[in-house]
Structure 1
Amino acid sequence: MSTGETATPWEGLPSWLLGQATTHAQRLVGDGFSSVGARGYHYRLLATLEAYGPASQAALGRRSGIHLSDMVAAINELAEGGLVERTPDPSDRRRNIITLTSAGRRQLRRLEKRLAECQDELLAPLSPDERRQLTDLLSRLLHHHNRRTGPTEEPRR
């Protein structure tokens, strides 16, 4: 909307504004990750493995918020790139343990750098204090709804 135009009734609604901001954020992050040969799932899995250490696919899915039906394909992509290793669980051979490799750590550093650049681009018009305030408000909103209904299930891709 250009200066002087009258806003439509929905353009001032928080839900609409959040949706539009989300669209921009997803596009920026998706393009940023794509520029280094990755997807959002890759970042979430690598970061979760670094934070928690080796894990079963089920535990990794729960911790990263990725639906189990999407885990196998995402882990296959990471394993094919040498970013994770999949080995049988010694205590239950039916289950695999996923481990971050040194190449996976290097890729995670690249993804973190791109993610920081995307955050800066998305939030460019905001001061550091406004960025913290926005993050605090969004965290509070998300916490409220997660407490009421549980975390939102990751959409199927």
Structure 2
Amino acid sequence: MPDVDGRRRDLAAMIAPLQRALVAAEQPVLRAHGLSMWGYVVLDALEGQPVRTQAALAEFVGADKSRIIGVLDELENDGLLERPRDPADRRARLVTITGEGRRRHRAVQAEVQRGEERLLGLLPPADREALLRSLAVLADELPKLD
């Protein structure tokens, strides 16, 4: 949608305030389920691929390898994931989501998405579907742009 002088706003200028509002709306949900934002990000990554090495997981979620260890420790202590040694490389650890981790992730995701419905409800159904489809394509293509 063009601005007053016919130019469109930058994507970051449009998305950043929306992202901040969405993250803020997720915080009470995460607290109610005993998760940090990083914990939720890790569980979400493991839902997509249930077994990853710690290093691959850190790279996938965009976290520093040393920073993610504390998050993994918390999730493991809560029974949401396990970190057995990699049989192919005894120096590495695999990260696997547990049944409880999957249940908690899905509960948080369902609650978050219920909250998102208020925002998405502002759009006509066709625009809403186009937005969700477009965001999925862009998110899937991002890693290929590096």
User: Could you say whether these structures have the same fold, taking a TM-score greater than 0.5 normalized by the shorter chain as the test?
Assistant: yes
- Check 1:52–1:17 CA distance in 2 against 1; reply closer, same or farther (3 A cut): closer
Aligned pair partner of 1:135 in 132, 137, 140? 132
Greater RCO (CA < 8 Å, at least 6 residues apart): 1
Matched, 1:125 2:122: yes
| Structure 2 unaligned spans of 5+ | none
| Cα drift, residue 139 of structure 1 | 5.0
Instruction: Tell me which residue corresponds to 2:51.
Output: 54
How far, CA to CA, are the matches of 2:96 and 2:138 in structure 1? 33
Amino acid at match of 2:9: L
| Cα drift, residue 141 of structure 1 | 5.6
Instruction: Tell me which residue corresponds to 2:42.
Output: 45
Instruction: Tell me which residue corresponds to 2:71.
Output: 74
Instruction: Tell me which residue corresponds to 2:9.
Output: 13
Deviation by residue 1:18-76 (Cα, 9 ceiling, x = unmatched): 22212211111233222222123222222322322222101222333333233201101
The count of residues paired between Structure 1 and Structure 2 equals 141
Matches for 1:93-132 after TM superposition, within 5 Å: 93-132=90-129
| Structure 1 unaligned spans of 5+ | 1-8, 151-157
Identity percentage of aligned residues = 26
CA RMSD after TM alignment: 2.8
